[in-house]
Structure formats: structure tokens, C-alpha cells
Amino acid sequence: MPDRIITARVSLADRLFQMQDLPCKSREVSLAVTSLQAGRMLLGSVALAMGATNPYPQADNPASKEIAPSADVPPTSPLLKETDPIAAVKELRLLLDGDIKGLVALRRELWARHYGSIEEMLFDRALTELILAKQWLGEQLAVLAGHPLVKAPVKEPLGSKPAASVKVPKDSKPIPAAKVNPPTPAAEPITPEAPAPGAGQQSSETPAAAPATPAA
């Protein structure tokens, strides 16, 4: 039973190589690749849960330097037939749609009744990721057509952006200008007056005081 899951992983490896062959590169294509990788990896977990041999026995051993090559990868992958960007994306969506339909049929065969096993939940998650990958390619078609839902922001040169204007409410009153007192003139320095001639000297016309007489 895991062999059919492994076959689906090989087919999805073809889709990954074909996505690299797309003549257009964008955020949408990168997200489609990420979803496709996630779906393929989850199918690997489904195969392990169903009894497949682990192709990476040393992946959780820190003491080992071994890194096994990616499993379930075909020796060669067919290239896309279309070279026009729009036609190439549509061709890849068609191929991916066939993979999804094959997995849906396999799910109905393996789990006719829902019983909540771990492999069933992983399979459903993988199927969701593959559907997302196809939808991201649909977003890429919108980009190629010139009407994407999300446009890349236009970067303005540094210093070219005008200063943001401050909106003033209609009912606001202008703020009166602050009153500024005129500067106080500096005080003139006080020059000491020159003493009058003879000031501080005893006048020659005034008799000197008699000396005090001692008491008897």
C-alpha cells in the first residue's frame, strides 16, 4: 500500500522540477513551491506510517555525519512543453490537477470511512497543501495578466517623500502669538564721584580740640 504513496511523491518531484523551469519568478511561484514541498513531505510521513522503510535512518542521529539524498526523486523529469509564461503556468496547473485528482481517488479507496488515523490526517493535510500550490499558480496568472490582488509597494527615493501635513479641526481657534516684552536696557555703570579738594583733611581755620584734663 505505501508503494502508491511513493509513486505520488515521485510525480510531485517532477512538478517541483517543472516549477523551477517556469519562465516567470515571483512571490506567488515561491509560495506554490513551498506548498508543493510541504505536500510531498507529508506524503512521505504517510508512507512511513503505513509501513514504508525510512529512507533517512540517520537523520535524527547527531553523532552521524551522513546526509542521505532525497528519496523518491526520478532520475530525470520531463520539461514543460510551453515556453510562454501564461501557457507554462496553465500547463503546470493542469498537471498538478491530475495529481490532486489521483490522490483524492486514492484517499477514498484507502479511507472509505473516517476513523481518524494519523496517516489519514497527514494525507488530508498533504492534499490541502497541493490544492494551495495550484491556487498560488492561479495567483501567478493574475500577476502575469497585470491585475494581482496584492501589489508590491512602490519604493520612493530617500528624501522625496513630502512632509506629512497636520489636519486642523474646523472648529478650532487659532492660537494667539505669545507677547514678547521689549528687552530691558542695560543699566549705566555708576562712576564714583571724586572727593572734594581737602576732604578728609582737617581745616587749618578750625582750631583743634583741647586735650582732655585728667580727673584729680
Cell of 215: 580727673
Cell of 106: 486514492
Average pLDDT over residues 6-26: 93
Confidence of residue 2 (pLDDT cuts 50, 70, 90): confident
E strand or H helix that includes residue 134: helix 118-145
Write down the pLDDT at residue 139: 94
- Using only C-alpha atoms, the chain has a radius of gyration, in whole angstroms, of 47
Cell of 56: 533517512
Q: Which amino acid is at 76?
A: T
Average pLDDT over residues 168-188: 62
* Model confidence pLDDT, tens digit, residues 145-166: 988 676 655 556 666 555 555 5
* 141 in Cβ contact with 86 (< 8 Å): yes
Between CA 16 and CA 99 the distance in angstroms is 13
From residue 143, give the alpha-carbon distance in Å to each of 85, 150, 153, 170, 199: 11, 9, 14, 44, 107
Determine the distance from the C-alpha atom of residue 13 to the mean position of all C-alpha atoms in its chain, rounded to a whole number: 29
Domain ranges of the chain: 2-145
Instruction: Give the three-state DSSP class for 122.
Output: helix
Determine the distance from the C-alpha atom of residue 29 to the mean position of all C-alpha atoms in its chain, rounded to a whole number: 18
CATH (residue range 2-145): 1.20.1260
Cell of 206: 578750625
Write down the pLDDT at residue 203: 47
Instruction: Give the three-state DSSP class for 148.
Output: coil
Between CA 5 and CA 106 the distance in angstroms is 9
Out of 27-36, 109-118, 127-136, least confident range: 109-118
* 28 in Cβ contact with 136 (< 8 Å): yes
Instruction: Give the three-state DSSP class for 85.
Output: helix
Long-range contacts at 155-161 (CB < 8 A, ≥ 24 apart)? none
Phi then psi for residue 5, to 5 deg, are: -70, -40
